[in-house]
Chain A
Amino acid sequence: EIVMTQSPATLSVSPGERATLSCRASQSVSSNLAWYQQKPGQAPRLLIYGASTRATGIPARFSGSGSGTEFTLTISSLQSEDFAVYYCQQYNNWLFTFGPGTKVDIK
């Protein structure tokens, strides 16, 4: 099983500031890495797939980078609607795993 870890667990950021979230895989997943945003009471929303490709309709302030075992999600200038929990997910095979999540809250 590929274990995903995320850091930090909570990130306190002021609106307009930059947020950098990290995700690490226990073994290489190549670029088979996705990022999701989830707000309370809602299903997750796909942000990034292939480690760096924005999903349809996702604003350019969201960007992903990395490959192998180390990945980063950057939100360049946080908007009020971006305060949420963010999950990474590997899909290197059909045994998916999610990271534990990073909560981005208002500083």
Chain B
Amino acid sequence: EVQLVESGGGLVQPGGSLRLSCAASGFTFSSYWMSWVRQAPGKGLEWVANIKQDGSEKYYVDSVKGRFTISRDNAKNSLYLQMNSLRAEDTAVYYCARPAGYVHYWGQGTLVTVSS
């Protein structure tokens, strides 16, 4: 059974940093692209970033370019999102996802709140 479990969310001040993690199990992690998708409270879904199987290709939504970094450790079956220079508008539930273009598998999400 595919499982994606996020961690690392919490309350952070504007301008601060946070690192999210996603532990993957039930599939061969190194064979799949991985994604982060977020959802602000009461709002719609927003794709954040994608990373290729070997980490050689990374893509970001414009609003996080230069501030967020997606990475992975295939030996640990883990996906990460390093978030720097956080803003109030980054407040959201962050989902780890396994895309095949479309996303069949989602984590349960971790809440990031950016507030003073």
Interface residues of A (CB under 8 A from B): 1, 32, 34, 36, 38, 43-44, 46, 49-50, 55, 85, 87, 89, 91, 94-101
Known interface pairs A1-B62, A44-B103, A89-B102. Does A96 touch B35 (Cβ–Cβ under 8 Å)? yes
A and B contact pairs by CB, cutoff 8 A, 13 listed = A1-B62, A32-B101, A34-B101, A36-B45, A36-B103, A38-B45, A44-B103, A46-B103, A91-B99, A95-B50, A95-B59, A95-B61, A96-B101
Specify the main secondary structure of chain A where it touches its partner. Answer: loop
* Contact residue among B37, B102, B106, B108 (Cβ-Cβ distance under 8 Å from A91): B102
Give the Cβ gap from A107 to chain B, nearest Cβ, in Å.
22
Contact status A98-B45, CB under 8 Å: yes
CB neighbours (8 Å) of B33 from chain A are 94
The CA-CA distance from A49 to B102 in the complex, in Å, is 6
* Contact residue among A1, A34, A43, A101 (Cβ-Cβ distance under 8 Å from B102): A34
Interface residues of B in 57-116 (CB under 8 A from A): 57, 59, 61-62, 95, 99-104, 106-109
CB neighbours (8 Å) of A96 from chain B are 35, 47, 50, 99, 101
In the complex formed, the residue of A with least CB distance to B59 is: A94
Interface residues of B in 11-27 (CB under 8 A from A): none
In the complex formed, the residue of A with least CB distance to B105 is: A46
CB neighbours (8 Å) of B59 from chain A are 94-95
The 8 closest A-B pairs by CB, nearest first: A91-B101, A34-B102, A43-B106, A49-B102, A96-B47, A98-B45, A101-B44, A94-B59
In the complex formed, the residue of A with least CB distance to B93 is: A43
CB neighbours (8 Å) of B54 from chain A are none
Give the Cβ gap from B54 to chain A, nearest Cβ, in Å.
14
Interface residues of B in 27-46 (CB under 8 A from A): 33, 35, 37, 44-46
